[in-house]
Each structure stands twice: as C-alpha cells, then as structure tokens.
Amino acid sequence: MYLVGADFLLLCDDSFSIIEKGGIYFDDNEIIAVDKYEKLESLRIREKKYYENCVITPSFANLHTHLEFSKNNGKLHYGNFGKWLDSVIVNRDSLMDSTLEEAMQREITKMLKSGISCIGAISSYGYDVEVLANSPLRVLFFNEVIGSKEEAVPFLEQSLNARIKECAQYQSKRFFPAIAIHSPYSVHETLLNKALEIAKVEELPLSVHFLESKEEREWLDNGSGYFKDFFKRFFNSDMTPFFSIESFLDKLEGLNPYFVHTLFANDNELERIKKLNGKIISCPRSNRLLNNALLPLSKMYNNGFDVIFATDGLSSNDSLSLLDELKMALYAYSEYDVEYLAQKLLLGVTNYAFKDNKIGLKAGILKQGYVPDFAVFKLECKEQIALNLILNSKEALALYIGGIKVEHE
C-alpha cells in the first residue's frame, strides 16, 4: 500500500470537494481511501510521500485527439473549414512520412508531462497502434471509419475488420479498442451499418465528429454548398448526402456515442443526443481555428450535458496539452465567474470524461474504488485553486498511472 499527499487534493467529484493536507491511500489497482494525510499515516504503508506546496488532481483525459497528425506545424490552412479540409487532403501523405513515429512519441511524452494519463486516439490509418500500446497512457483506441465511395466499401469493411483484430491483440487494463465514425458526410451507409454493428456486438465505445461546420450542416440539410463541390473535385462524383441529420442520429440508438464538436446542432438535435445518452466533447481551440466558433457552453450545461474537453489533433491545434486548452476556454467564456468556470473545465477533463463509460473504467475522481491515476502540480495558492492551476501550471511535477509514478524522457 502507498500513501501520497499534498496541501490540497481536488477530488473532482460532482461537488468539486477539496481536502486540505489530504492523502490518497492506494495499491496498484485502486484507491483504497482518500482522507486527511495525517489520518491515513496510521495505516499499513510500504512507501509514502507528501508533496509540499502542491495540488493533486485526478490525471487528465484527452478524449479526442489524432496522434497521426503529430507532424503538422504550419502546413494546414486555418480560418475556413472548407479550405482546411482541402489542405488536409493535399498534405496528408507528406504529414505521414518516415519521421511520424518519432513525432508521435514526442507528443505522447509531452502529454504525460502535462498531466494527461488517458487519451481517446482517433486512428485513421493504424500507424499509432504500437506506439500507443507501448506507452504508459491509458488509451481508448478509436479505429476510424471513413469512405464515401460505393466501390471502396468491401475493401474498407475488410480493412476495418483487420484493424479491429490487430487492435484486440493489445487489449489490456490500459488499452481499449473502440470505433470512430469520421462524420455523417464521409461514411457510406453500408459501411456505417457495418461499423455500428461491430460496435454494438462488441460493446465498443463509439465516437463521431458531428456538426462541426456550417458546411456540414448545409450539405446534410440541403445537399448543397462546399461539400457538393468537394465531392465533385476530389471524387468526380455528383453525390447526394447519405443521411439527414435525423436519420443519422436514429442509427446511433443504443450506442451511447461521444459526439465531437456539435457546434451547429439545434435544440431538437441536442434533445435527441440527450435521449441517445450521448456525450459531448468540445475542442475550443480547434473550433476557433477551423470554424471561427465556440460551443455555446451555457446552453449545453442548461440542457444537462456535462461537457468534456479535448484538444483534437495537431491538425487543428498548436499543442495537445489540456492545460493549454482549458486556459483558452477560461479566457474565452467570459460570462462565467472565473473559479466556477475553472472547476467546470477541470471536471470536463476528469470526472465528466469517464462518466458512464462503456469500458467500465472507474477514473477521473479521487475516490475509493477508482484507479490510482493522478497528477501532482506545484502550486502555492490557498484559494481559487482550480483557477490558479489552469493559469499557472504548464507541467505536472509527478504523474501516477495505475499507482505507479511515470518516469518520462
């Protein structure tokens, strides 16, 4: 048994409880008790450590990122979704050359240093499977399904099966196979049906980019605009949408998906997402760069969504640090009290990220029975702790995953 303590423990439970001079008593599998450090010191302990002038939080979950785009630093066009997507298609191959592995490794190390212990990796090609399976991170490995061309569907189905099979070899307490649907505009109906069937039968977590842009909305509503031209230019096809927004959502019944972005969803659609027991993941910096928009947070909270925050990939961001992400959100959503918002943002990368998850991982709260995954930050403040953590921390002083201190570098 181990005991780790600090001046403040942010439990990240629903009421954002804080324990002063608190301790976490744990073994490799789970937290056994959380209480005042002094009280826990009387228990049977193999090793103990108290971090002076520090704060401990559950370590962070970055539930939506694209590690395979780790090499981007300036090749893609920002400020207009259509121009960005065009630039992704044009530059994709050059972003995935032989130095990609090194770049992915570098970004994993940086994430660990910034207090992230769990990621949702959207894998478009499977290039990231090994590097992630061999990392200390917990990983929801989202095999991404994309493809609009009818002729390609049999090949894409085969490839999906093969990727799921490969991924299953790595399944462990830290590595969880999952499926991502790229979006309602980019997946052929037959392929979608197949992917959803696998997700249902295997009870896999499911993620989808959903209503990220005005362009997507216009295409799904009217079959017109940027995407009409896009399919003509890149696929030489006079396509019509595979789904209406409603018929796409109907297909997700019973799957409790993660909806990523939902920037342009209306009230009815949000209600439908709620009924599907969907979770909303917001990536504010990506949304600003690609769509000049931010998720209306008050509307989400008022509709009962515990919004999860993530960074998206380096294809639409300048770092994969959640502390950077939350700092931007803290400045951007100026209608809230700063400490209240800071707490909600922290919950969005801890507690909310793991609520009712399909993999049965009890994480994101410092609580008995939960995994001993936590981060220690140097911080000398005595009040507005959530706010000061987001404002003043760049890196964690220490990170524990499964009760073990991660040594990176």
Question: Buried (b) or exposed (e) across 105-136, using 16+ Cβ within 10 A?
Answer: eebbebbbbbbbbbbbbbbbebebbebbbebb
Asked if 300 is part of the footprint of ligand BEZ (rule: CB under 6 A), the reply reads: no
DSSP per-residue letters across 69-104: GTT-SS-S--S-HHHHHHHHHHHHHHHTSTTHHHHH
- Hey, how many other C-beta atoms are within 10 angstroms of the C-beta on 60? 31
* Binding partner of residue 146 among ligand BEZ, Fe ion, none, CB cut-off 5 to 8 Å per kind: ligand BEZ
Catalytic residue among 68, 107, 157, 212: 212
Q: List phi, psi (to 5°) of 218.
A: -65, -40
Question: Buried (b) or exposed (e) across 274-301, using 16+ Cβ within 10 A?
Answer: eebebbbbbbbbbbbbbbebbbebeebe
Out of 146, 328, 338, 391, name the contact with ligand BEZ by CB under 6 A. Answer: 146
* Binding partner of residue 257 among ligand BEZ, Fe ion, none, CB cut-off 5 to 8 Å per kind: none
Choices 6-14, 142-150, 375-383, 401-409; region in contact with ligand BEZ by CB under 6 A: 142-150
Whose Cβ is closer to Fe ion: residue 217's or residue 367's?
217
Out of 269, 312, 325, 373, name the contact with Fe ion by CB under 5 A. Answer: 312
Tell me, residue by residue from 167 to 206, as one string, x for binding to Fe ion by CB under 5 A and - for no binding: ----------------------------------------
Report the candidate in 343, 207, 125, 388 with the shortest Cα–Cα distance to residue 351: 343
Asked if 315 is part of the footprint of ligand BEZ (rule: CB under 6 A), the reply reads: no
Identify whether the C-beta of residue 59 lies closer than 8 Å to the C-beta of residue 354: no
Choices 72-80, 163-171, 186-194, 306-314; region in contact with Fe ion by CB under 5 A: 306-314
Q: How far apart are CA 347 and CA 20, in angstroms?
A: 19
Choices 7-15, 94-102, 132-140, 312-320; region in contact with Fe ion by CB under 5 A: 312-320
Known active-site residue 150:
no
- Among the residues of 202-337, which ranges form H helices? 214-222, 226-235, 245-251, 267-275, 284-291, 297-302, 322-332
Whose Cβ is closer to ligand BEZ: residue 33's or residue 96's?
96
Asked if 148 is part of the footprint of ligand BEZ (rule: CB under 6 A), the reply reads: yes
Asked if 186 is part of the footprint of ligand BEZ (rule: CB under 6 A), the reply reads: yes
Whose Cβ is closer to ligand BEZ: residue 18's or residue 239's?
239
Report the candidate in 167, 195, 170 with the shortest Cα–Cα distance to residue 180: 195
Tell me, residue by residue from 94 to 133, as one string, x for binding to ligand BEZ by CB under 6 A and - for no binding: ----------------------------------------
Which residues contact ligand BEZ (rule: CB under 6 A)?
Answer: 146-149, 185-186
Which residues form the catalytic set? 212
